[in-house]
Amino acid sequence: MVRDLPEDDERLLMLVTLAVRHGKFAPGPAADHALTRFAGTSRELCDTFLTTLVHVVRADAPWRARDHSVLPSKPPR
């Protein structure tokens, strides 16, 4: 399903921006968990999951930034 999407699909662009490192898809922990649990079989379920996955990858972004020392280990109070 993903291979059939146009290159300018906003979801793909967001996933590439947030979860591709050195040319490989490298999801954070929440996205990895979501991917391992996904079992959709229809195109509609896959499409919905892809949209949800973008939100999960966005939620992982601060974790990834902290893990790579781009953000402090603890958020300011």
Domain residue extents for the chain = 2-67
Q: How far apart are CA 7 and CA 12, in angstroms?
A: 7
pTM: 0.75
**Statement: residue 65 has pLDDT above 70:** no
70: pLDDT strictly greater than 80: no
Q: Using an 8 Å Cβ cutoff, are 57 and 14 in contact?
A: yes
pLDDT of residue 72: 58
Long-range Cβ contact pairs of 43-50 (< 8 A, separation 24 or more): 43/1, 46/1, 46/2, 47/1, 50/1, 50/2, 50/11
Q: What is the mean pLDDT of the chain?
A: 85
Tokens representing 43 are 């195109």
